[in-house]
Chains A and B, each alone.
Chain A
């Protein structure tokens, strides 16, 4: 049975909690008042301070979740995700480079350009040598390994650039690198919603291709798919989704890795389309809750959300690895 409605219910619950709780908590009445356009201190907190932040969290999480889900289906490997494959490290390097040379281009553009370039680099470097069956593409593990190598190199150069910055610049860079949702307003929400909508419209007709590719490239070719083009289109969409999310919120770690398998488990759906939807919903829930914990758990201190998802996500990755080792799958 499809249980997407359970995810939608969880999403609404997480959104309400995120809107109501924080350094100043808002009661249910004031929350309702704020959502329906009323006045008063509590309502204004909801409308001006938390509304944009929660909406940004929702969209960012959904974009990361979708991106991770596409990659994991495409490569047929639960380890595939933009952060494990080094794209986030590329974004971080671009941010630091821009801060170092005082480039007057908005951070979001720089971050997503860095992520895109890294993705192209990783996918190009992981391309199999000649003589390999051209239909098969690069093996997923090779892409992941190459991505980790590129990521480590980018991280090393980033830490070099960190030593070049002044104290305040370094602090700003550190906040950007961790990913943060602080001080986002409705214009951010609007930007991301527009880009996201376009990408989802681009994605919808490709879902059929993804379904075919999951059967294996030979079967997909037999069923009439242009495997190479389909793979390229899906990878580009996934990279752009992640880049859009990074542009607004910074490289929030591990959401794209965790959301797809969790979503599929909660929604109990096996179909590709259902899994994509579940991953988007779960990504949104994870980011909203992680942001809530990050800003409300320690009084007087706002942790960046990326720290929270890192602390939650890295043990998940370790668990995933140990499980695969025990099953002998890796």
Chain B
């Protein structure tokens, strides 16, 4: 219980720091006033309501979605290296955005964000299926390598398209870096609903997913239908990661590094684990975003880069820890 209180306080602190950090310093008074009696002529209110608030919400939704999705993915594949980013989501989103930019031109940012959703979803499902996930034997090595292979293929095609039409590069090179800065131009509301739906599905099937970890025969004996549970989890993960990518672009490694810590907070049980992972994911992403804003101010390091810088070493650490027998 004590752990949960700390986690909650951490999340609140992250939300607060994110809301009050920026070029313009804002007092608590002004902030309250902006929410109670918004005044569209006051630049402080405008900055708070239309720039910082969407950014905080984007960080909250996106971080929570990726944290929960990472937890579910790792439970489903029984694989500590499973992460939406490694499963080709980033490359899938970049691919879809490139196609969109080729067809629609660079103007329509909201359309491109919507396109990232199916791209990310299709890539993650493809990697899961090709990596042997449908047969229930997706080992860490298989999934990671399949993700790397599919990413390489999609990146090749994206490069070809980008070089054919120079102006596409101008869209794509900004899209493939995950960031919360563009949150107000992205379809925040729709994607938040999608993420919440995905999270609800995940919480509903969590106990059945746990039964699946006992092995297929035993879980059938306990009254679970493995295929249906797997399909439900996959739909939920797709909704969650797709929404996150549409809001913030690809955020690397967040879904990889948050679940191990969340398991320490919430114990071995999956449903509280998913909740803890979502809260922690949101807190980490918001803090990473704040750190990126402060580190080289006024220049800004995107949140996706910050998470990659933290998450890359975590990935290497986890890969080293797998014993050769476990990865083979």
Asked whether A322 is an interface residue with its Cβ less than 8 Å from the other chain, the reply is yes
Asked whether B204 is an interface residue with its Cβ less than 8 Å from the other chain, the reply is no
| Smallest CB separation, B76 vs chain A (Å) | 17
- The docked-state distance in angstroms from the alpha carbon of A310 to that of B173 is 19
Partner of A313 from B140, B152, B327 at Cβ < 8 Å: B152
Tally of contact residues, B, Cβ under 8 A = 53
- The docked-state distance in angstroms from the alpha carbon of A157 to that of B302 is 10
Q: Are A303 and B142 within 8 A (Cβ)?
A: no
Asked whether B252 is an interface residue with its Cβ less than 8 Å from the other chain, the reply is yes
Which B residues, 162 to 196, have Cβ-Cβ distances below 8 Å to chain A? 162-164, 166, 169-170, 173-174, 176-177
Please, could you name 29 A-B residue pairs with CB atoms under 8 Å apart, sorted by A?
A125-B316, A141-B324, A142-B327, A149-B312, A151-B148, A152-B253, A152-B308, A153-B252, A156-B252, A156-B304, A157-B305, A160-B302, A167-B169, A174-B163, A178-B159, A178-B163, A254-B152, A306-B159, A307-B156, A310-B152, A311-B153, A311-B157, A314-B152, A314-B153, A317-B149, A321-B149, A325-B132, A325-B142, A330-B139
| Smallest CB separation, A29 vs chain B (Å) | 35
Further contacts, 14 of them, CB under 8 A, given A141-B328, A330-B328 = A144-B141, A145-B81, A148-B145, A148-B148, A153-B252, A153-B311, A156-B308, A167-B169, A306-B156, A307-B156, A311-B157, A314-B150, A318-B130, A318-B149
- The docked-state distance in angstroms from the alpha carbon of A72 to that of B25 is 58
Q: Are B85 and A152 within 8 A (Cβ)?
A: yes
- The docked-state distance in angstroms from the alpha carbon of A318 to that of B162 is 24
Partner of A162 from B86, B132, B150, B173 at Cβ < 8 Å: B173
| Smallest CB separation, B77 vs chain A (Å) | 14
Asked whether B241 is an interface residue with its Cβ less than 8 Å from the other chain, the reply is no
| Chain B residues with CB below 8 A from A163, complex form | 173-174, 177, 302
Asked whether B36 is an interface residue with its Cβ less than 8 Å from the other chain, the reply is no
Which A residues, 154 to 211, have Cβ-Cβ distances below 8 Å to chain B? 156-157, 159-160, 162-163, 167, 170-171, 174-175, 177-178
A-B complex: 7 closest residue pairs judged by Cβ atoms: A310-B156, A153-B312, A314-B153, A156-B308, A149-B315, A145-B319, A317-B149
| Chain B residues with CB below 8 A from A162, complex form | 173, 176-177
Asked whether A1 is an interface residue with its Cβ less than 8 Å from the other chain, the reply is no
Asked whether A126 is an interface residue with its Cβ less than 8 Å from the other chain, the reply is yes
Asked whether B197 is an interface residue with its Cβ less than 8 Å from the other chain, the reply is no
Asked whether B144 is an interface residue with its Cβ less than 8 Å from the other chain, the reply is yes
Residue of B nearest to A298 (CB): B164
| Chain A residues with CB below 8 A from B146, complex form | 318, 321
Asked whether B309 is an interface residue with its Cβ less than 8 Å from the other chain, the reply is yes
Known: A315-B153, A322-B130. A84 touches B148 (CB 8 A): yes
Asked whether B160 is an interface residue with its Cβ less than 8 Å from the other chain, the reply is yes
- The docked-state distance in angstroms from the alpha carbon of A162 to that of B176 is 10
Task: How many A-B residue pairs have C-beta atoms within 8 angstroms? Tell me.
Answer: 154
Partner of A330 from B141, B174, B319, B320 at Cβ < 8 Å: B141
Asked whether B15 is an interface residue with its Cβ less than 8 Å from the other chain, the reply is no
Query: A interface vs B, CB < 8 Å?
Result: 79, 83-84, 125-126, 129, 139, 141-142, 144-146, 148-153, 156-157, 159-160, 162-163, 167, 170-171, 174-175, 177-178, 253-254, 301, 303-304, 306-307, 310-311, 313-315, 317-318, 321-322, 325, 330
Asked whether B248 is an interface residue with its Cβ less than 8 Å from the other chain, the reply is no
Q: A-side binding surface: helix, strand, loop or mixed?
A: helix
| Smallest CB separation, B279 vs chain A (Å) | 24
- The docked-state distance in angstroms from the alpha carbon of A129 to that of B319 is 12
- The docked-state distance in angstroms from the alpha carbon of A171 to that of B85 is 25
Q: Are B164 and A301 within 8 A (Cβ)?
A: yes
- The docked-state distance in angstroms from the alpha carbon of A175 to that of B163 is 8
| Smallest CB separation, A297 vs chain B (Å) | 11
| Smallest CB separation, A143 vs chain B (Å) | 9
- The docked-state distance in angstroms from the alpha carbon of A193 to that of B75 is 52
Q: Are B320 and A126 within 8 A (Cβ)?
A: yes
Known: A178-B163, A304-B163. A159 touches B173 (CB 8 A): yes
Q: Are A153 and B327 within 8 A (Cβ)?
A: no
Q: Are A145 and B144 within 8 A (Cβ)?
A: yes
Asked whether B47 is an interface residue with its Cβ less than 8 Å from the other chain, the reply is no
Instruction: Encode B92-135 as 1/0 by CB contact (under 8 A) with A.
Output: 00000000000000000000000000000000000000111000
Asked whether B155 is an interface residue with its Cβ less than 8 Å from the other chain, the reply is yes
- The docked-state distance in angstroms from the alpha carbon of A322 to that of B138 is 11
Q: Are A160 and B305 within 8 A (Cβ)?
A: yes
Q: Are A148 and B144 within 8 A (Cβ)?
A: yes
- The docked-state distance in angstroms from the alpha carbon of A129 to that of B323 is 11
- The docked-state distance in angstroms from the alpha carbon of A150 to that of B316 is 7
| Smallest CB separation, A226 vs chain B (Å) | 24
Which B residues, 238 to 262, have Cβ-Cβ distances below 8 Å to chain A? 252-253
Residue of A nearest to B305 (CB): A160
- The docked-state distance in angstroms from the alpha carbon of A330 to that of B143 is 11
